[in-house]
Structure formats: structure tokens, C-alpha cells
Amino acid sequence: MTDAATALDRFYSVIPAGGIGSRLWPLSRADAPKFLHDLSGSGRSLLRDTWERLAPLSGEQRIMVVTGRAHRAAVEEQLPELTDSNIVLESDPRDSTAAIGLAAAILEHREPGVIIGSFAADHVIANGHAFRETVRRAVLAADAGYIATIGIAPTEPAVGFGYIKTAGTLDIPGAHGARRVEEFVEKPDLATAKRYLRSNKHLWNAGMFIARADRLLEQLGKSEPELLAGLQELAAAWDTPSRGVVVDRVWPRLKKIAIDYSVAEPAAKDGALAVIPGEFEWDDVGDFASIAKLHSSGRGSELAILGKNARVLADASSGIVVSQSKRVISLIGVTDIVVVDTPDALLVTTSENAQRVKSVVDALRAGGSGDVL
Amino acid sequence: MTDAATALDRFYSVIPAGGIGSRLWPLSRADAPKFLHDLSGSGRSLLRDTWERLAPLSGEQRIMVVTGRAHRAAVEEQLPELTDSNIVLESDPRDSTAAIGLAAAILEHREPGVIIGSFAADHVIANGHAFRETVRRAVLAADAGYIATIGIAPTEPAVGFGYIKTAGTLDIPGAHGARRVEEFVEKPDLATAKRYLRSNKHLWNAGMFIARADRLLEQLGKSEPELLAGLQELAAAWDTPSRGVVVDRVWPRLKKIAIDYSVAEPAAKDGALAVIPGEFEWDDVGDFASIAKLHSSGRGSELAILGKNARVLADASSGIVVSQSKRVISLIGVTDIVVVDTPDALLVTTSENAQRVKSVVDALRAGGSGDVL
């Protein structure tokens, strides 16, 4: 364990930029995934916002992005500061353990003792300062040997997020508020979510993990030794001429598993997982209801309009309109509506049904309409 | 008064094909008005359906269409049988008295004693046989000197139609069921409409007028002598080389007034208006709620889909989708919805709000979005 300054000097931000965001179809697509859109109204893509939030913490030279080969050009356009050594391109998506684990293995190989923090490219955080302060505490927990996560203090009984059940407080120097994680719990129903809110023991799982890279890989090795071996083989070859050959051979065989299952839950069971409560506003903008809420300050009577040059005429209507075509969009007397208008696909639903968009995407795929996905 | 065969021999159908149908925006447009669309699902435009409904009654050679110059090509495409002498082109729309009155004056000039029947180009009638039987009775009432109209026996307390209040029965040979019209009443509220339905005295005003042309013009002359003079001047010049000069001088000055006000209501006051109850299914398809109803056999749980090559994926949704673009349209959990998707404009509303579409059209016009009207 070292002091705060030293630990932060060894900190590296990792941004896995994957995932289409099926619940945001037809805005999010295979060729225009969620992280490339401005969903917060900041005028910047979620990816760019993530970068700017992390740069003051780790420095621009210490941010690694893991993304699909298909998105390379778009990512580099968003992040012109990104160097070739800090972009990891996946030939095909193999879930979050492979993405984050490979970044950890490469960085540990380059710089033993590095501390990494993994932050999704497509979440919205309102207060960057409070976010960074929370991460700094998590870095100290990581430096103390914990696998650390950040849990968001719930402000409502949300049913769209997973939760972290906390146990007793941990006394880690500099990591104020740290608690031991008892377990992760899946998205609850409303009654359960209300109980969680009252319990003061449950935090929203924001999917952020901060750990020494060697510690993370060690934890992974306990549950997924083969996957770890593959990642280490890749890492050893990464900065050598044989990268391409090894990637082609090893990457396609890596097990697809979320890091929540391969690392976080086992670590919680081992008592090795610490959570730092985050007091900042956070949203994973998982569906259109969530975007509508972000843009209307929570007032249900408003109509949020997303899209440059949107031509929307609304009468007695509320909800959200996303305009990606040049069409005039007229709404009359529709409340809590979700209208997403793109050149080749139109979605009309309600906030209440926003979570069901994914099933429509599945149906379109099954029905031979993959051209609009 | 003559016998039925002779009266029908002198019968001429007039189809005023005007009116954009603002409540059906963005499907109906200035350049694609309601009568050019297939709203009944017959596979033919409403205008073509109207023609085919009337042809067995008056013969194809005795149907006159009054329409705007801008619609000439579209009308002739729909009605290749239409001869040049049977199309009357308006340089600008001057309401129904000018349109129907000019047809009456031209036909009376050509063929004194002609009986004309005027039928909108954009209504839906389910049973052509029953319709024609009713018109035949109206022709006999017209031959007896009445201005006759057809009133539809109401099947529900509709608030979207005007009503005809009937008085005592009229004993006109061959015009079974004829009654005197006491007055015309505007679209009622629901309570009033329910009272009308119970009264058995009220019929829906379907805007059909059948009269001897000379009788119609005489009635018009009582309330609008200047307008009549203008129409007669036009009629006298119509089949001569001076038509163009006279039209340019006279037509733009004709008073704009609906035939309901210039002829029908005054005739009712004079006791000269007879109504024949029509027992056929009729709808003026005035808004999208009405179209939805036509296509779902009255079952509110269905989703009606209009549009060739529509690609609609709906889950737990009802109402109507009109697809005029090639886009995939996906609906999730929206009930009684109205979605009209065209290349340059999109409308999302509900059946309940369908009547309010006109106000949006007005707002678009006022707001400088006339390009999509």
C-alpha cells in the first residue's frame, strides 16, 4: 500500500466501448452504437463525455479504449488524442471479461503494479468532480488490495438497475465510506426496489471496477483459469510483431462472460470486494424512458426533443421525440410517448414500455429485418 | 312529374372532387387530396369508388366531375372514361355552391329539364346497390319538384357529422320513405347526439343533393342572385370559344359559400326539401379515427395497417398505421394510436384526438411549414 499520490500515479482508465444498446433501437444500431450518440444533451457523444470525465483523473495518455474493429474510425474521430498503443480492437465482441481483462493484462505487462479503473463508454454522470473524488477513494481501496466498485446511492426505487448489497464499513485509509460488498442482486421488482431504498444497505450497480491489474487477473484466474491464460498469452504478444497471429488464434476461443460473474461476484464471496458509495447523479441511459427523464428534469409533463434540426410540432403531448430524419414530426394528445424517427425505421412506444424495445429488436432480427438493426 | 324510367333518363351524376381533407394530414395534401387515396381498403381511390358506384345509375357518359386544375391529370388517370365535356376545372376553389351550381347551370344549358345528383368524391359507402336504390327514390322526389337529399339512418351517437331533423312523411310516388326536412343541425356534442339517436327524427347529413337543375338554380337565386347570375353567364359561355375569357372574369368573383347554406337550408325553410333515408353504410372518413374504424370492423383491439409494402411490427398495440414510406414501423404497447408515416412528415396521435389534426395543419401553415401541407 502506498500513499494517495503514488497510487494515482499508477492509475489507468479503461473504457470498454462495446454494446449496441438494443433498448435504444432504432437510434442505436450496429453501425451507430449508443456510445457514439449525444444522449445527455451535452453536445458531445457519451464516449467523448466519458473521456473528458476521466482525463483529469488519469491524464489523457493513460486512458485505454477497448472497442470493436468496426468502430475504430468513429472512436478515433471522437477521441483524436487517443494513441495507437491505447486502443485495443476486438475482432468480434467477447463480453466484458475479455475486454477489460485484456486491457488489464496488457497494462500489467507494460507496467507491473498498475491500477486500472473500468468505466462504461455509454453512461451519463452529471457531476464530474464528485465522480472523480469517488474514483480517487476507490483507487486507494484498490491500492490496499481490494477489488473496488462504485455504488450509486439510490434516489428512487429503480427497477432498471442491478443493486449492490453492502455489509459493514471498511477502514481503508483515504477511502472514506468504503464498505464490504455482501452480494450483487439482479434488477428487482418495484416492491423489492422500494425495500432496497428503505434499507440503506443497497446501492445501484454502476458497473465500475477499480483494482490493481494483477489483483484483478488473480481473482479471474480462480474462476476462469483458461480465460486468464488466453488473456495473458495475448498480452505477452500484444506489443510484438506476432500480435496478429496470436489474436487470430486465441481471441475467438475466449469464453464470453460478463466481468460481474467472472470477477465481481466471486470477489464478493471472498470478502475481497469493496464498494465506495458515489453521491453523484448517474444513469446508464438504458432505455428511452431514462433519456426522457434526463431531459425533462424529471417533470413528466414535458416533451424532450433530441436531434439537431428537429422539426417537431407538439400539442398536449409529453415524453420524448428523437429526430434523426428531416421530417416534420407532429404529436397531438399523446402522453409519456416515445417517438424515434430515423431514415429507415420508426419506433412509437411509451415510457412504460421502453424496456420492451429489446424484444422488438429480437423479433426484427428473427423476421428478416436485420437491415434496420 | 314523369315516371321513374323517364326521370332516371334525365339524371346526371355530379362529383365535386375538391377539398384536401386537412384532418387526414399528412396523408392528404394539397397535391394528393383525400379523394385520390384508397382509404376503404378497396384497392381503388375514393374517387374511383364513387365513379363505379354512380356509373350503373346514370351511365358513364352522364357523370360530370368538378375539380381543381391542379388535379386534372390525377383525376383523368383515375377516370379514363371521363370525356372533356364532362370535366369542369376550377382555376381556384370557390366552395360547393360554385362547384355544384356551375355543373347544374352547364347541364341545364345543354339539356333543359336535367336532374342532377351531387355526391362527394371522398366518402365511403359499403353497399352500392342500396345506395343506388335510395338515389333512385331521390330522383323521383326531385322529379316531383323537391330538392332532395339523402340522410343516413344513424347507427351510433356520432359527433363528427351534421344531422338532418326530419318532419312529417311526404307522399311522393316511388319515393318511399321520403320525409320533409325541418332543419339542418351542426355537429352535436355527445349528449345531444345520444338524444338524436333516440329521437328517430334525426339522420346523418351525407351532403348528397338531388334536384332538377332548374329547380336548384331557382332556389339559389332566391338567396344568392348575384352568384346565380355569375354561374349562368359562365354556363352560357361554357361550350363556346369565349369560355376562357368569361371564366377569367367571372369565376374569381363568385361568392364562396357552401351549398348547405345557399340552397339546402333555405329550401328546408321553404318546405321544399325532402329527405330519403338511406339504409346503407356510409362514412365521410373525415379523420383517422374513422378510417381505423372502417378497417377494424369496429373492434377497438385491432391495428389497421394502410399502405402498400408497409413493414409494421406491432406488439400489444391497436389503432391505425398509415405507411407511405418504406420504413420499418415498430409499435410497442400503444393503444388507439394513429401513426401516419410519409416521406416528409410524421403524425402521431390517438383516435380520440383525430379531429384535432386540422388545428395542427393550421399551426404548420402559420409557422412556415407549408412545404409539408
* Contact call for A332 and B26, based on CB within 8 A: no
Q: Which pLDDT band holds residue A21 (cuts at 50, 70, 90)?
A: confident
For range A211-223, the mean pLDDT = 98
Domain-embedded: residue A288: no
Q: Which residues pair with B194 in a beta bridge?
A: none
* Whether A251 contacts A94, CB under 8 Å: yes
- For A327, the grid coordinates are 421530417
Predicted local confidence at residue B299, as pLDDT: 57
Q: Residues of chain B whose C-beta is under 8 A from some C-beta in A?
A: 26, 311, 313, 315-316, 326-334, 337, 339, 341, 343-350, 352-353, 356-357, 359-360, 363-364, 367, 369, 372
* Whether B295 contacts B41, CB under 8 Å: yes
Do residues B278 and B296 share a domain? no
3-class DSSP state of A152: strand
The C-alpha atoms of residue A36 and residue A20 are separated, in whole angstroms, by: 10
The set of residues, in sequence order, having a beta carbon less than 8 Å from that of A204 and lying 6+ positions away, is A151, A152, A153, A154, A158, A161, A162, A163, A164, A282
Q: What is the percent of chain B with per-residue pLDDT over 70, rounded to a whole number?
A: 98
Model pLDDT for residues B222-276, shown as the tens digit of each residue: 999 999 999 999 999 999 999 999 999 999 999 999 999 999 999 999 999 999 9
Predicted local confidence at residue B373, as pLDDT: 87
For residue A128, give the DSSP letter: H
The residue whose grid cell reads 345531444 is B192
Do residues B21 and B144 share a domain? yes
Predicted local confidence at residue A95, as pLDDT: 95
- For B235, the grid coordinates are 354556363
The C-alpha atoms of residue B199 and residue B203 are separated, in whole angstroms, by: 10
Do residues B315 and B273 share a domain? no
To the nearest whole Å, the CA of A371 is away from the closest chain B CA by 10
The residue whose grid cell reads 460488498 is A181
Q: What is the CATH number of the domain that holds A77?
A: 3.90.550.10
* Whether B148 contacts B177, CB under 8 Å: no
* Whether B184 contacts B264, CB under 8 Å: yes
To the nearest whole Å, the CA of B330 is away from the closest chain A CA by 5
To the nearest whole Å, the CA of A343 is away from the closest chain B CA by 7
* Whether A121 contacts A15, CB under 8 Å: yes
Between the alpha carbon of residue A344 and those of residues A320, B314, B331, the distances in Å are 19, 16, 15
* Whether A87 contacts A64, CB under 8 Å: yes
Q: What is the percent of chain B with per-residue pLDDT over 90, rounded to a whole number?
A: 83
To the nearest whole Å, the CA of B29 is away from the closest chain A CA by 14
**Largest pairwise CA distance in chain B:** 63
* Domain residue limits at A260: 4-283
- For B97, the grid coordinates are 355552391
* Contact call for A369 and B334, based on CB within 8 A: no
Between the alpha carbon of residue A66 and those of residues A100, A125, B259, the distances in Å are 8, 20, 73
Between the alpha carbon of residue B79 and those of residues B50, B121, B285, the distances in Å are 10, 12, 21
Q: Is residue B295 within a helix (H) or strand (E), and if so which, with residue range?
A: helix B288-295
Q: Is residue A299 predicted with pLDDT exceeding 70?
A: no
Give the E-state strand segments of B119-228 in sequence order: 124-125, 147-152, 163-169, 179-185, 202-212
Do residues A82 and A110 share a domain? yes
To the nearest whole Å, the CA of B343 is away from the closest chain A CA by 7
Average pLDDT of chain A? Answer: 94
Q: In whole angstroms, what separates CA A263 from the centre of its chain?
A: 16
Give the count of beta carbons closer than 10 Å to the beta carbon of residue A297. Answer: 8
Of B334, B341, B364, nearest to A313 by CB-CB distance is B364
- For B192, the grid coordinates are 345531444
Q: How many domains, chain B?
A: 2
Exposed, middle or buried: residue A289 (CB in 10 Å: 0-12, 13-18, 19+)? Answer: buried
Give the residue from A283, A308, A340 where a domain finishes.
Answer: A283
Q: Is residue A42 predicted with pLDDT exceeding 90?
A: no
Domain-embedded: residue A150: yes
Predicted local confidence at residue A20, as pLDDT: 81
Give the residue from B254, B283, B312 where a domain finishes.
Answer: B283
Of A328, A344, A360, nearest to B372 by CB-CB distance is A328
Number of H helices, E strands in chain B: 13, 17
* Contact call for B344 and A353, based on CB within 8 A: no
Q: Is residue B308 predicted with pLDDT exceeding 90?
A: no
Q: Residues of chain A whose C-beta is under 8 A from some C-beta in B?
A: 26, 311, 313, 315-316, 326-334, 337, 339, 341-350, 352-353, 356-357, 359-360, 363-364, 367, 369, 372
Q: Is residue A298 predicted with pLDDT exceeding 60?
A: no
Across the A:B interface, residue pairs with CB atoms under 8 Å apart total 122
Q: Which pLDDT band holds residue B2 (cuts at 50, 70, 90)?
A: low
For range B163-178, the mean pLDDT = 94
Model pLDDT for residues A227-241, shown as the tens digit of each residue: 999 999 999 999 999
Do residues A242 and A363 share a domain? no
Domain-embedded: residue A60: yes
* Contact call for B345 and A332, based on CB within 8 A: no
* Whether A220 contacts A96, CB under 8 Å: no
The C-alpha atoms of residue A104 and residue A124 are separated, in whole angstroms, by: 24
* Whether A291 contacts A132, CB under 8 Å: no
Predicted local confidence at residue A118, as pLDDT: 98
Across the beta sheet with A345-350, what order do the strands follow? Answer: A303-306, A319-323, A337-341, A345-350, B328-332, B311-315
Do residues A53 and A97 share a domain? yes
Of A327, A333, A346, nearest to B344 by CB-CB distance is A327
Q: Which residues of A touch B370 (CB under 8 A)?
A: none
Amino acid (one-letter) located at B10: R
* Contact call for B328 and A360, based on CB within 8 A: no
Domain-embedded: residue A320: yes
Q: Which pLDDT band holds residue B95 (cuts at 50, 70, 90)?
A: very high
Do residues B217 and B292 share a domain? no
What is the 3-state secondary structure of A64-127? EEEEEHHHHHHHHHHCCCCCHHHEEEECCCCHHHHHHHHHHHHHHHHCCCCEEEECCCCCEECC
The C-alpha atoms of residue A223 and residue A168 are separated, in whole angstroms, by: 25
Domain-embedded: residue A177: yes
Q: Is residue A306 predicted with pLDDT exceeding 70?
A: yes
To the nearest whole Å, the CA of A157 is away from the closest chain B CA by 23
Domain-embedded: residue A321: yes
Model pLDDT for residues B322-373, shown as the tens digit of each residue: 999 889 999 999 999 999 999 999 999 999 999 899 998 999 888 888 888 8
Do residues B128 and B245 share a domain? yes
Domain-embedded: residue A289: no
Q: What is the percent of chain A with per-residue pLDDT over 90, rounded to a whole number?
A: 83
* Contact call for A313 and B367, based on CB within 8 A: yes
Nearest C-alpha neighbor of B159 from the set B348, B335, B286:
B286
Do residues A159 and A232 share a domain? yes
The set of residues, in sequence order, having a beta carbon less than 8 Å from that of B32 and lying 6+ positions away, is none
Q: Which pLDDT band holds residue A300 (cuts at 50, 70, 90)?
A: low
Average pLDDT of chain B? Answer: 94
Please give the residue of chain A at the shortest CA–CA distance from B337.
Answer: A334
* Whether B55 contacts B65, CB under 8 Å: no
Do residues B72 and B53 share a domain? yes
What would you report as the CA-atom Rg of chain A, rounded to the nearest whole angstrom?
A: 21
Amino acid (one-letter) located at A148: A
Do residues B224 and B332 share a domain? no
Give the count of beta carbons closer than 10 Å to the beta carbon of residue A243. Answer: 13
Q: Which pLDDT band holds residue B5 (cuts at 50, 70, 90)?
A: low
Do residues B279 and B292 share a domain? no
Q: Which pLDDT band holds residue A112 (cuts at 50, 70, 90)?
A: very high
Exposed, middle or buried: residue A15 (CB in 10 Å: 0-12, 13-18, 19+)? Answer: buried
Give the residue from B240, B265, B283 where a domain finishes.
Answer: B283
Q: Is residue A186 predicted with pLDDT exceeding 60?
A: yes
The C-alpha atoms of residue B313 and residue B326 are separated, in whole angstroms, by: 13
